[in-house]
Amino acid sequence: MSSDHHAQRAGTQNEPATQPEQAALASQLALVQRHLAAGDFAAAESQCRQILKTTPGRLEASLMLGEALSSQGRHEDALAVLAALVKRRPDAGAAHYSLGNVLNRIRRYSEAAKHLHRATELQPHFAGGHCNLGIALEQLGDTAGAISAYERALSLDPNLWQARTNLGIVLLKIGKPDDAATHLRRAAALNPDAANTQFCLGRALQQLHQPAQALPCFERAVAIDPKLAGAWLGLGFVLGMLGRFAEAAAAYEKALAINPDLGAAHHALAMLRREVADAGELDRLRRILANPEGRAADRGAAGIAIAKILDAAGRYDEAFAAAQDGNRLARAAQLAADIRYDHDAFHAENDARMRLFTPERFAATRDWGNPTELPVFIVGYPRTGSTLVEQICASHSQVYGGGEMQDVPEIAAQIQRTAPEHWTPDLLRTLADRHAQRLAALAPGKLRVVDKMLDNVYHLGLIAIMFPRARVIVTHRDGRDAALSAFMQQFVKQLAYSTDLLDASRRWHETERMTAYWARCLPLAMHHVHYETLVRDFETEARTLISFLGLAWEPACLEFYKTERVVSTASLWQVRQPLYDSSIGRWRNYATHLGPLCAAVGVDPQAPTGTRPADIA
């Protein structure tokens, strides 16, 4: 989002002239500014050229001529004018600023950064220069430089809403939705009619699992700009999180009316649709998938949507081929965004965790943490029934379902900056107390708060030290079903391993390997839920689950699908339906394609569903 506005004239110096000439020139320049403000760029160009005939090389007239030309889409003409101005006036910060802006517009970011950096050197107190330098640096992949530039702009002008929006967008990209929301709220307050700001604030709140707060942001965005397809997509997703599926589908249809090739919207509709899609829908998706000019992310999402539709129609070989195509493209998009999965490195990290968190360490630190019983952690591998388990728990009046909370991974990242030999009781207790206070504030009066961040399975050692009376629920599912399901699913939050069947399979095995280790040595109450058993004997398993939480049974837990709460995972539709067992043994439909998968999970291709690998049984 550019900071182009007439503040670019800050710091310009006019050539000497007589007072009458100055007055006439000021009047002409004011007329140009009015034309620009009114969007009459042709008139602004004409007026600038008249000024430059009588006063050749006039700085401010040249700047505004460049702006008028660029605003008409004549960027090369604008570049010619502004490049000549920079050559003639190399120490004019406004000239470098204007040239950098045009270069930003035509995506020549490296050249833009050079001129905008020079502009900030010449006019260090001009906030707009720092803001637009941030845009160029962000596009060049210099995230730290972009953040620094936006922060410098805001230190000079705290009310520069463009810089706040841009900073919020960058923070959102690097996984800091809380910080992003802070800046985007301020930007939205400064300019409530900026559709993109409202859209990005909605995305930040969505990522913070606050759909009720995100909803009006997306609604405001599409009211301001009904052609903003991404905002319709975001609106559909939060409506789905809130269980308003018909409205969600309508929002996705709006997005597709604007951008028929928006793969994410097609995929979202496929996930909501209960009936088999018609041939026309499949043809549209296939065109998106096959379009070499389309974005890899959209094409990948289309492939996964095709796979879902064909799977529902029982056309399994075609479904698997579509999933392969979709995931190949999705992985290309991940790699372009530097999202990677290195299984060998991940395996080594887990070996290091096992060496660090030993029975001896747990014994030495058993009095370090907070003794609250509030936290409950659901951990495991995706697509193993974890959302269903959370929904059962959250249907109890004394339980709050917090969804996939980022707190523990952030605490783990923080504490990793201190060598384990320098950990102290005060450090761990402070971190535990702070988190316990957050949970209590999140769910006043509740006895249990469920955190369903599945990857906390790798942080259970730290959790055991911080919360020695926490409860851990581990969800399991046949590795063939779980890995296949992950491979054929597009997740809300990208999982680097799910776009490759072998990586998805090896990750499942690694999750089970870590779970087996914790089962041997973790000093926490642990309860294991096997998806196949849960579906086969639901009431018994549900009662056992609530008993494990230390709570009295409530019949509402059997009617989990009636519980109104936010669900933000890929299972948001399923957990609002009565229990079904059609996904058990789904792997058999794809058995001819699963040789590498079976080898990676460590289960014989002919073994019954639910078989555990021998090496981790």
What pairs with residue 399 in β-bridges? Answer: 448
For the purposes of burial, counting CB atoms within 10 Å of the CB of 408, is it exposed (0-12), middle (13-18) or buried (19 or more)? buried
- Length of the chain counted residue by residue: 617
Distance in angstroms (rounded) separating the CA atoms of residues 451 and 443: 12
What pairs with residue 450 in β-bridges? Answer: 376, 401
What pLDDT is recorded for position 68? 94
What pLDDT is recorded for position 457? 98
Could you tell me what percent of the chain has a pLDDT over 70? Answer: 92
Residue 616 has pLDDT above 60, yes or no: yes
Under 8 Å between Cβ of 248 and 272: yes
* pLDDT category of residue 24 using cuts at 50, 70 and 90: confident
* pLDDT category of residue 1 using cuts at 50, 70 and 90: low
For 229-249, give one letter per residue: b (16+ CB within 10 A) or e.
bbbbbbbbbbbbbbbbbeebb
What pLDDT is recorded for position 8? 44
What pLDDT is recorded for position 455? 96
Distance in angstroms (rounded) separating the CA atoms of residues 122 and 285: 52
Residue 209 has pLDDT above 70, yes or no: yes
Distance in angstroms (rounded) separating the CA atoms of residues 197 and 184: 6
* pLDDT category of residue 339 using cuts at 50, 70 and 90: confident
| Mean pLDDT lowest among 8-22, 27-41, 106-120 | 8-22
What pLDDT is recorded for position 264? 82
Distance in angstroms (rounded) separating the CA atoms of residues 338 and 332: 10
Distance in angstroms (rounded) separating the CA atoms of residues 118 and 109: 14
Residue 7 has pLDDT above 80, yes or no: no
Residue 17 has pLDDT above 60, yes or no: no
Residue 11 has pLDDT above 50, yes or no: no
State residue 474 phi and psi, 5-degree precision: -105, 125
Q: For residue 492, what are the contacts with CB-CB under 8 A and spacing of at least 6?
A: 237, 568, 569, 570
Q: Does residue 8 or residue 245 have the better pLDDT?
A: 245
Per DSSP, the three-state class of 417 is coil
What pLDDT is recorded for position 176? 87
Angle at 514 between CA 426 and CA 571, to 5 degrees: 100
Q: Does residue 610 or residue 156 have the better pLDDT?
A: 156
Long-range CB contacts for residues 135-141, cutoff 8 Å, separation at least 24: 135/1, 135/2, 135/104, 135/166, 136/100, 136/103, 136/104, 136/109, 136/110, 136/112, 137/113, 138/166, 138/170, 139/104, 139/107, 139/109, 140/109, 140/110, 140/113
Residue 56, sorted as left (phi over 0), alpha (psi -120 to 50) or beta, turns out to be: beta
What pLDDT is recorded for position 212? 87
| Mean pLDDT lowest among 206-220, 266-280, 367-381 | 266-280
Strands (E), 198-321: none
Distance in angstroms (rounded) separating the CA atoms of residues 545 and 539: 10
DSSP one-letter code for 181: H
- Residues 420-462: tens digit of each pLDDT: 999 999 999 999 999 999 999 989 999 999 999 999 999 999 9
Mean pLDDT of 201-223: 92
Per DSSP, the three-state class of 260 is coil
What pairs with residue 528 in β-bridges? Answer: 474
CB atoms within 10 A of CB 227: 12
Mean pLDDT of 536-544: 93
How far is the CA of 137 from the CAs of 78, 132, 134, 148, 399, in angstroms? Answer: 22, 9, 5, 10, 46
* pLDDT category of residue 489 using cuts at 50, 70 and 90: confident
* pLDDT category of residue 297 using cuts at 50, 70 and 90: confident
Mean pLDDT of 115-134: 96
Q: For residue 166, what are the contacts with CB-CB under 8 A and spacing of at least 6?
A: 1, 131, 134, 135, 138, 146, 150
State residue 448 phi and psi, 5-degree precision: -140, 140
Under 8 Å between Cβ of 557 and 542: yes
Distance in angstroms (rounded) separating the CA atoms of residues 337 and 494: 11
Residue 301, sorted as left (phi over 0), alpha (psi -120 to 50) or beta, turns out to be: alpha
Distance in angstroms (rounded) separating the CA atoms of residues 468 and 368: 9
Residue 13 has pLDDT above 80, yes or no: no
Under 8 Å between Cβ of 504 and 498: yes
Mean pLDDT of 123-135: 96
What pLDDT is recorded for position 573? 43
- Residues 156-166: tens digit of each pLDDT: 999 999 999 99
The token pair that represents 125 in the structure block: 């107190």
Under 8 Å between Cβ of 489 and 387: no
What pLDDT is recorded for position 77? 95
What pLDDT is recorded for position 379? 98
Angle at 265 between CA 195 and CA 490, to 5 degrees: 120
| Mean pLDDT lowest among 33-37, 97-101, 492-496 | 492-496
Distance in angstroms (rounded) separating the CA atoms of residues 358 and 264: 44
- Residues 377-431: tens digit of each pLDDT: 999 999 999 989 998 999 999 999 988 888 999 999 999 899 999 999 999 999 9
Q: Could you give the count of Cα atoms lying within 13 Å of 262 in the half-sphere of its Cβ?
A: 21
What pLDDT is recorded for position 467? 98
For the purposes of burial, counting CB atoms within 10 Å of the CB of 273, is it exposed (0-12), middle (13-18) or buried (19 or more)? middle
Angle at 115 between CA 113 and CA 121, to 5 degrees: 100
* pLDDT category of residue 301 using cuts at 50, 70 and 90: confident
In sign, the C-alpha dihedral spanning 453, 384, 466, 373 is positive
CB atoms within 10 A of CB 208: 18
> Is the whole model's pTM more than 0.85, yes or no?
no
Residue 201's closest CA among 223, 169, 228? 169
Output the average pLDDT for the chain.
90
* pLDDT category of residue 268 using cuts at 50, 70 and 90: confident
